[in-house]
């Protein structure tokens, strides 16, 4: 069973934040919520400086489009060979607060909001949901009861492209029709229970669903972290939400296949045209990790100061509003820094858990093993383009490397699983499994993800 697919929970949610830090084997792990994935260049520089000066220099991108900093120094008794209770890193929290990344001490772990990364910048989307992200964040922090939301509860605002709708968040706002902003559908755990929010009531509707989730969880005597974990969750939560917010209405639900046909794919890299003639540049930090120097390069590409970058749920980073000429220059510079901007790169579609030394449960340093097999991601490095499955290759599916059976960070959907064992790696795909022991284990596992089992 995958860590991301547990049907129920036996304990309280212990998601890390900037105040409540997870004591991992390599030190403190802090998670900084950035609603909608939008962070200014100045804020990104603040995170980079904190990672360099207070941590191990590792910045991770999460599947909720947030940022994590690893290796924060904690009191001597906080960390050890196994994972310990939550700890605090006050110096880190103070820096994040000064950068404007910690607006609410009570609600910081509840501020999980993803949005279409190219909202307002792409012809594929019908609605610019960025103003709603800011409105939702402020309103969420203003409701004391919603501080009780688990750190895994997720809001998603889809611009009509279907990209973040595919994440099946606890509650997703998306247009009912591409050119119609008079009403939006509220999808619950990816299902459409017929819940509709009129224009002007979108934020109230999203928060009503969150409050209904907490009420239904209490009624069921559950400790669920996600709406899908409640018995008959979408139907029961929708019924409660209508009672809490009278502007919501019930409509005929659309069948799942109707949304599936409109669902867009995320995670692409390269240059994307904007309707205003400018372009956005999307790059991939290999294995979802940034160095402080790479973060600072992205901040410089955005123009420093109030310039903006957008972190995506697919662990890519988008720099919008560039001229085509500037995008070309920055694409080369960021690639030289080790960020992937080539849609044909073998690094696309490769994800991994933290592995050793960050996780005491891991059987392998999966990041080191993958890098040894794939080589340097920079454009002048000697890397085979067929080294591993890439979503840009027809018929190929992503590969996720995990240090143990929990398979933390595993993407949703069809995936090749590469799982560390006590003697090597085991590769699983579509019900078929092969073990690769011995000195050539990593290269053999990579070849298996390419050639099939």
CATH of the domain at 324: 3.90.480.10
Other C-beta atoms closer than 10 Å to the C-beta of 430 total 9
Domain total for the chain? 3
| Residue 2 in domain | no
User: Where in the sequence is the domain holding 204, given as residue range(s)?
Assistant: 118-260
Residues 356 and 224 in one domain: no
Same domain, 125 and 237: yes
Tracing tokens 């090749």 back to the chain, one arrives at 416
Q: Is residue 289 part of a domain?
A: yes
> Are 84 and 102 found together in one domain?
yes
- Residue 246 placed within a domain: yes
The answer to whether 315 and 54 have CB atoms below 8 angstroms apart is no
How confident is the prediction along the chain (453 residues), in pLDDT tens digits per residue? 344 444 445 556 678 999 989 999 899 999 999 999 999 999 999 999 999 999 999 999 999 999 999 999 887 665 544 445 568 889 999 999 999 999 999 999 999 999 999 998 887 767 899 999 999 999 999 999 999 999 999 999 999 888 999 999 999 999 887 667 889 999 999 999 999 999 999 999 999 999 999 999 999 999 999 999 999 999 999 999 999 999 999 998 787 666 666 655 578 899 999 999 999 999 999 999 999 999 999 999 999 777 999 999 999 999 999 999 999 999 999 999 999 999 888 888 899 999 999 899 999 999 998 888 887 787 655 443 333 333 334 345 788 999 999 999 888 788 889 999 988 888 888 888 888 775 556 666 666 666 655
For residue 254, give the DSSP letter: P
Is 191 part of a structural domain of the chain?
yes
Task: Identify whether residues 243 and 307 lie together within a single domain.
Answer: no
pTM over 0.75: yes
Q: DSSP string covering 294-345, please?
A: HHHHHHHHTTSTT-EEEE-TTS-EEEEEE-HHHHHHHHHHHHHTT-B--TT-
> What are the residues whose beta carbons fall under 8 Å from the beta carbon of 406, sequence distance 6 or more?
2, 3, 353, 361
Report d(CA 424, CA 281) in Å as an integer.
38
Domain boundary among 225, 260, 295: 260
Helices marked H in 63-142 — which ranges? 90-98, 130-141
Q: Same domain for 237 and 140?
A: yes
| Cα–Cα distance, 433 to 9 (Å, whole number) | 29
In sequence order, the β-bridge partners of residue 187 are 172
* Structural domain contains residue 384: yes
> In terms of DSSP H, where are the helices of 6-128?
41-54, 90-98
Residues 143 and 82 in one domain: no
- The pLDDT value recorded for residue 82 is 43
Residue where the block lists tokens 């609600």: 107
**pLDDT of the residue at 11:** 59
Domain boundary among 284, 314, 336: 336
* Claim to verify: residue 213 and residue 301 sit in the same structural domain: no
CA-CA distance, 317 to 305, in Å (whole number)? 17
Statement to judge: residues 98 and 160 lie in one domain: no
Please, are residues 88 and 105 in contact by the beta-carbon 8 Å criterion? no
Domain identity same for 364 and 293: no
Query: What's the pLDDT at 392?
Result: 38
The angle, 0 to 180 degrees and rounded to 10, between the axes of the packed helices 324-336 and 292-301 is 170
- Taking a C-beta distance cutoff of 8 angstroms, is the pair 316, 282 a contact? yes
Claim to verify: residue 132 and residue 233 sit in the same structural domain:
yes
Using the CB atoms, write b or e for 352-366: b if 16+ within 10 Å.
bbbbbbbbbbbbbbb
90 shares its domain with 157: no
For residue 8, is it within any domain? no
Residue 80 CB neighbour total at 10 angstroms:
11
Extract the tokens encoding 395.
Answer: 């018929």
- Both 152 and 71 in one domain: the answer is no
On whether residue 5 sits in a domain, the answer given is no
**Residue 56 within any structural domain of the chain:** yes
The domain boundary, picked from 260, 279, 308, lies at: 260
- Running DSSP on this structure, what letter comes out for residue 413? S
């Amino acid at each position: 069973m995958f860590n991301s697919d547990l049907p129920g929970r036996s304990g309280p949610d212990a998601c890390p934040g900037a105040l409540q830090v997870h004591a991992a084997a390599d030190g403190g792990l802090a998670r900084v919520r950035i609603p909608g994935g939008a962070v200014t260049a100045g804020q990104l520089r603040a995170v980079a400086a904190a990672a360099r000066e207070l941590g191990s220099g590792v910045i991770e991108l999460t599947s909720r489009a947030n940022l994590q900093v690893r290796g924060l120094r904690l009191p001597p008794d906080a960390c050890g060979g196994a994972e310990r209770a939550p700890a605090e890193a006050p110096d880190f929290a103070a820096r994040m607060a000064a950068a404007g990344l910690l607006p609410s001490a009570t609600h910081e772990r509840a501020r999980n909001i993803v949005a279409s990364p190219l909202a307002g910048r792409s012809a594929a989307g019908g609605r610019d949901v960025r103003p709603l992200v800011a409105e939702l964040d402020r309103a969420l922090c203003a409701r004391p009861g919603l501080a009780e939301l688990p750190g895994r509860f997720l809001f998603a605002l889809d611009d009509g492209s279907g990209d973040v709708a595919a994440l099946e968040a606890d509650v997703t706002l998306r247009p009912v029709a591409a050119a119609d902003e008079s009403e939006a559908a509220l999808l619950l755990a990816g299902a459409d229970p017929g819940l509709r929010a009129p224009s002007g009531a979108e934020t109230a509707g999203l928060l009503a669903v969150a409050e209904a989730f907490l009420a239904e969880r209490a009624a069921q005597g559950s400790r669920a972290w996600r709406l899908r974990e409640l018995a008959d969750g979408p139907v029961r939560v929708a019924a409660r939400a209508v009672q809490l917010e009278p502007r919501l209405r019930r409509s005929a639900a659309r069948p799942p296949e109707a949304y599936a046909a409109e669902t867009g794919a995320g995670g692409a890299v390269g240059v994307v045209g904007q309707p205003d003639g400018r372009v956005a540049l999307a790059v991939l930090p290999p294995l979802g990790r940034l160095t402080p120097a790479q973060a600072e390069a992205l901040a410089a590409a955005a123009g420093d100061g109030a310039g903006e970058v957008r972190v995506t749920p697919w662990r890519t980073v988008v720099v919008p509003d560039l001229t085509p000429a500037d995008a070309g220059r920055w694409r080369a510079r960021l690639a030289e820094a080790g960020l992937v901007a080539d849609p044909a790169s073998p690094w696309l579609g490769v994800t991994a858990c933290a592995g050793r030394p960050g996780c005491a449960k891991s059987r392998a340093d999966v990041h080191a093993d993958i890098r040894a097999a794939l080589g340097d991601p920079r454009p002048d490095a000697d890397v085979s383009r067929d080294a591993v499955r890439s979503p840009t290759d027809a018929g190929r599916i992503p590969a996720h490397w995990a240090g143990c059976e929990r398979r933390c960070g595993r993407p949703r959907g069809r995936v090749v699983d590469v799982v560390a064992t006590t003697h090597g790696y085991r590769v699983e795909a579509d019900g078929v499994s092969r073990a690769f022991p011995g000195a050539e284990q990593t290269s053999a596992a990579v070849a298996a993800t390419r050639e099939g089992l």
